[in-house]
Amino acid sequence: MTQRKEIQALPEQLVNQIAAGEVIERPASVLKEVLENAIDAGASQIEVRLEGGGIRRICVIDDGSGIPVDELPLALTQHATSKIRSLEELESVSSMGFRGEALASIASVSRMTITSRSADQEHAFSICGTSREITPAAGGLGTTIDVKQLFEHIPARRKFLKTEGTEFGHAVDALERIAMANPHISFRIFHNQKPYKQWQATDSFQRVRDVIGEEFIEHGLEVQMDHGLARVHGMIIHPTAARARADKQFLFVNGRFIRDRTISHAIRQAYSDVLHGDRQAAYVLFLEIAPELVDVNVHPAKSEVRFRESGAVYRLFTQALKAALSNTGGQNQSDANTVLSALGRPGVGQASDLVKNSNELQQNLGSQGLLTPGTFQNHHVSGHSTTGHASSFPTSSYQQNPLELAPVGDWQSAYAPISDSTIKAPLPSSVPLANFADSTKHESDADNFPLGMAIGQLHGIYILAQNQSGLVLVDMHAAHERVVYEQLKQLHDQQDIVTQEFLVPFLIACTEKEVAIVESEQELLLELGLRLHASGPKSITVRAVPALLARGDIESLVLGVLKDINDIGSTERLALQRNEILSTMACHGAVRANKFLNIAEMNALLRAMEATEKADNCNHGRPTWFQWSMRDLDKLFMRGE
């Protein structure tokens, strides 16, 4: 039997070291906490000096409001802060820091000195983190926090640090996140006494360009959507430029970098039918939400948050990203009488020019040729970004007229392959050739259409077309597959869900929580085409499911739906599984390779692509077309050299 030890209050130093274990993991953690203090102090310029990847030294110099000399001892006291005074302020906190733990924790695991001067002081004062001795010091307005020899006296923690190069990489990651969230602040970074990077104060668009690089901007699509007390904006990568690694994914909530499963799920769902294979999306997204609707006091490092209405946040991100990926600029995708997009895809030196509708196209597009890669779509449409960055991008000279599309036809015609025996209906009935009769008579009118006019077919696989910019090459199967797929989805969305009743109800073992969800969410479940009933404290009965999904794994489907409802208050699982089936149908129904089309049929497919959202990619994420400009072709053949 072990000997009982009496309960004792822990020494302050040990308390701070325990707290540091939650907040201070590595040099990057120290840097993050100190930078957040500088931001809260209203700094406009921040200088960061690192040595040994931050292990030997982290020095942050800001020009913020500074700390009065009589408050310096409090700055090193645990749970002392200027950010909040009451529970009400905690529940609506807008500052980066608020716990009052960081400086005390850092001082307990390193040799730290704070030098600060406030506006009403003649000179600065310095305080030692170990002795708490205050002495006069030289220094301008603002604060300098100098941290040396992190974990020097805690070898158990220090041995878990990686190499200097690895720790420096983590520190740079932390810097980049904070820099992107605060473009109004200029940053200068030094490593081992050598200049490393410098970012001037600018707007959000330019800061993203400076931090992540030109390639991300070149293949970016703007995201912007307001919904009541929340607004999401930023940039996502075009599906064809998706990455092999998930290393360029940045999510900020009220200026704070976080990771959130709900939003990550929404992003994956929005990209579900446009990413190829295991490619990863890249994005920089900002959520601005009323502080009282988000709880940031969830994780000691403030890297996680909890939303009061997680379902609403999920839907906001899903809708915003789908609008950007659909190339509609937020336009209602079911409006078949409006041109949804003037399509584009980053090719060899070219990219997309996507517009909201034909009226905005007439107003906003000039005569400067096709866009170069890399613009926010709202730059194309409105000429400014969410941060007020003036558009400097050239606009297209295309003057597109709205296509009068007929209603979607019957089920079979929606995925019937193109037939070379008739020209009247080579595509689904929503894109009749009659609409393009005039254009096929005048092939010189290629400038009127973003994808131009067909000039031939290559080996029964590719369509060659010319537009004002140059040569367009279309994979006809991939393109037709997307057209058919979107029409099948539209047809299903316009109809009531057809359910399949089970002769013998399906019994599923589950948890008490899942039974409670079934009982409380009957209305939502019925809207989804699911008839579920509680048959016991830990079992449910499935009486009907959507007919299209009746042959799948019913148990996995139902339990997945209940999990989604519990996590985010809604579910896209049924739609995703339905879309997988429709995608397969579209793939088998689309025109096949070695199917030779005449010019009218090719032009009909091009016009259908222009009227179909997400037509840059097939259902499996492969590109459907590329653009080569005349300049690219001239360079290829060395004309003018």
pLDDT digits (tens, 9 = 90+) for 453-469: 999 999 999 999 999 99
CATH code of residue 429:
3.30.1540.20
In the chain, the number of structural domains is 3
3-state secondary structure of 409: coil
Lowest mean pLDDT among 202-216, 249-263, 441-455, 580-594: 441-455
Distances (CA, A) of 44 to 40, 141, 600: 11, 12, 61
* pLDDT greater than 50 at residue 576: yes
- In order, the DSSP letters of 303-352 are ---EETTHHHHHHHHHHHHHHHHTTSTT--TT-TTS---------BS---
User: Distance between CA atoms of 73 and 69, rounded to whole angstroms?
Assistant: 8
User: Does one domain contain both 59 and 191?
Assistant: yes
Of 263, 295, 325, the last residue of a domain is 325
Residue pair 456/631 in contact (Cβ under 8 Å)? The answer is no
How far apart, in Å, do the first and last CA atoms of the chain sit? 91
Domain of residue 173 covers 12-201
> Is the pLDDT reported for residue 89 higher than 80?
no
Q: Residue 501 domain-assigned?
A: yes
Mean pLDDT of the chain: 78
Res 429: pLDDT: 37
Instruction: Note whether 139 and 211 are same-domain residues.
Output: no
Which pLDDT value is given to residue 143?
Answer: 95
Average pLDDT in the 177-200 region?
96
pLDDT at 200: 97
Q: CA angle at residue 457 from 454 to 462, to 5 degrees?
A: 100
CATH number of the domain bearing residue 284: 3.30.230.10
Maximum average pLDDT range among 96-105, 280-289, 377-386, 592-601: 280-289
Q: What share of the chain is helix, strand, coil (3-state, %, to 5)?
A: 35, 20, 40
- On whether residue 383 sits in a domain, the answer given is no
Q: Is the Cα torsion angle 257, 262, 266, 269 positive or negative in sign?
A: positive
Both 183 and 253 in a single domain?
no
In a domain, 400, yes or no: no
Split at pLDDT 50, 70, 90, the class of 437 is very low
pLDDT at residue number 327? 62
- When pLDDT is cut at 50, 70 and 90, the band that residue 495 belongs to is confident
- Same domain, yes or no, for 245 and 267? yes
* Weakest mean pLDDT among 52-56, 126-130, 344-348, 626-630: 344-348
> Exposure of 192 by Cβ count < 10 A (0-12 exposed, 13-18 middle, 19+ buried)?
middle
Regarding whether 243 and 131 lie in a shared domain, the answer is no
569 pLDDT band (50/70/90 cuts)? confident
Q: Residue 386: inside a domain, yes or no?
A: no
The rounded percent of the chain whose pLDDT value lies above 90 is: 44
**pLDDT tens digit string along 300-335?**
666 788 898 888 899 999 999 999 998 633 232 222
Distances (CA, A) of 504 to 537, 544, 555, 557: 20, 10, 15, 18
Residue type, 585: M
Of 278, 303, 325, which one is at a domain's C-terminal end? 325
409 vs 415: CA distance, rounded Å: 10
Residue 513 has pLDDT above 80, yes or no: yes
* 151 and 93 co-located in one domain: yes
| Domain presence at residue 118 | yes
Residues 192 and 220 in one domain: no
Question: At CA 171, angle to CA 169 and CA 173, rounded to 5?
Answer: 70
Name the packing angle between helices 554-568 and 310-325 (round to 10°): 110
Whole-number pLDDT of residue 321:
94
pLDDT above 70: percentage of residues in the chain: 75
What is the side-by-side strand order in the sheet with 283-289?
Answer: 220-227, 230-237, 283-289, 249-253, 256-257
Report yes or no on 545 lying in a domain. yes
57-61 average pLDDT score: 97
- pLDDT at residue 377 tops 70: no
pTM tops 0.95, yes or no: no
User: Is the domain of 297 the same as that of 430?
Assistant: no
Q: What is the mean pLDDT of residues 376-392?
A: 30
Please report whether residue 370 resides in a domain: no
Tell me how many helices (H) and strands (E) the chain has. Answer: 22, 22
**570 vs 149 pLDDT, higher one:** 149
Q: Is the per-residue pLDDT at 47 higher than 60?
A: yes
Q: What is the mean pLDDT of residues 65-80?
A: 86
Comparing 185-199, 374-388, 463-477, 534-548, the range with the smallest average pLDDT is 374-388
Rounded to an integer, what distance in angstroms lies between the CA atom of residue 177 and that of residue 248? Answer: 11
Residues 166 and 246 in one domain: no
Q: Is 415 helix (H, G, I), strand (E, B) or coil?
A: coil
Pair 275, 303 in one domain: yes
Q: Which residue, 306, 325, 344, sits at the end of a domain? A: 325
